[in-house]
Amino acid sequence: MNDKEMLYYHTKQTQLNEWKAGMTQIRTQALAARVHLQVALIKHVKLLEVQLEEGKTCLTQLMNTTGSGFESAKKTFEVAWESIIKSLEDTTAKFKAIV
C-alpha cells in the first residue's frame, strides 16, 4: 500500500475502534432502560456490532488490495461504511427517542 492508501486505512480503522468503544456505552445505557425496551435496543446494538465487524473485514480486504483494484475495493468499502454510519445514527436516534 502506498502512503495515501495507508493513511486512508488508518483513519477508517481509528473510526471503527472509536465506534466499537462507543458501543459499550450504548449497551450500558440500553441495559438501564425499561425492560420492554431493552430487547429492542439490544437487538439494534447487536446488528450494529455485526456491521462494525463486517466493516472491519472490508477494511482489512481493502488494505490487502493493491494497484488498480484499490479504487474499486475502496468504493465497495465506502458503501459498507455509509451503511454503518446510517445504522449508527438510527440506533442512536432510537435510543434517544425512548430514553
What does pTM read for this prediction? 0.65
Q: Exposure pattern of 82-96 as b/e (b: 16+ CB <10 Å)?
A: eebeebbeebeeebe
Cβ atoms of 30 and 38 within 8 Å: the answer is: yes
Domain ranges of the chain: 3-98
Query: CA–CA separation, 26 vs 92, rounded Å?
Result: 8
Query: CA–CA separation, 42 vs 31, rounded Å?
Result: 8
In the chain, the N- to C-terminal Cα span, in Å, equals: 45
Report H helices in 33-68.
Answer: 35-63
Predicted confidence (pLDDT) per residue in 8-54, tens digit = 999 999 999 999 888 888 888 777 767 667 787 788 889 889 999 99
